[in-house]
Amino acid sequence: MPEAESLRQVAHSRAPLSTWVGIVLLFALFGIIVLAVIGPAPRGSTYEEKRAKKRMENLKTVRDEAAKALTTYGWIDKKKGIAHIPIDRAMELAAAELAQRKPAPAGPIATPEPQVAAAPASNAPASPAPGVSPQTSPAQPAASPPAQTPVSSSPAASQPPPGTASPVPGKTP
């Protein structure tokens, strides 16, 4: 019987070894398949090079068109009689036109009146802030004054909101 037990021990000891050999062979087979598929693929980055070349051609075309528009005479709309001239000539004409004009002082800048955040409680008109002079120019105000809301005759409207009347500290009723 000792032979039967030794055969079982040998069989049990060889089973894990054959499992590991099978796993290693599967990984090797998978690696060979991957190399066979990826190996013949091209290794260059021609896609990005093509895109860069196309972008450079587009940039050159746009710059050439801009240079042509800025340095030549041509029609913008022939029916309306609108033409374009070279930028250098346009700057000369604009400088000559501005040189013929007399310098004039700038007009006063109208500042907008400060807007009131809440409507005043009394019917008296709001007075301007101190130091602000009323506008004498015929300019329209930036915003119209807020419309007055009608006063309700309910007693709840005349009462102050709760929590505004607080007792004076140190005095008890």
Same domain, 70 and 87: yes
Decide if 52 is inside a domain: yes
The answer to whether the CB of 140 falls within 8 A of the CB of 169 is no
User: Is 83 in contact with 76 (CB distance < 8 Å)?
Assistant: yes
Query: Do residues 61 and 87 both lie within one domain?
Result: yes
CA atoms within 13 A on the CB side of 51: 4
Structure tokens at 104: 């004039």
How much is the pLDDT for 10?
63
Answer whether residue 109 is part of any domain: no
Choose the final residue of a domain: 100, 125, 145.
Answer: 100
Dist. CA 39–CA 33, nearest whole Å: 10
Let me know whether 59 and 23 are in one domain: no
- 57 assigned to some structural domain: yes
72, two tokens: 């030549």
Is there a single domain that holds both residue 14 and residue 59? Answer: no
Query: Is there a domain that residue 172 lies in?
Result: no
Task: Please indicate, yes or no, if residue 169 is contained in any of the structural domains.
Answer: no
On whether both 68 and 26 belong to a single domain, the answer is no
Parent domain of 29: 10-41
Q: Are residues 63 and 93 in the same domain?
A: yes
Query: Total structural domains in the chain?
Result: 2
Q: 93 with 59, same domain?
A: yes
Q: What is the pLDDT of residue 108?
A: 87
d(C-alpha 142, C-alpha 111), whole Å: 9
Phi, psi values for residue 83, rounded to 5°: -125, 165
Give the per-residue pLDDT at 137.
47
Residues of the chain with pLDDT under 50: 132, 136-145, 149, 152, 157
Does residue 171 lie in a domain region? no
Do 63 and 85 belong together in one domain?
A: yes
Residues 26 and 60 in one domain: no
pTM of the model as a whole: 0.35
Residue 15 lies in a domain: yes
- Asked whether residue 27 falls in the same domain as residue 67, the answer is no
Residue 70 falls inside a structural domain? yes
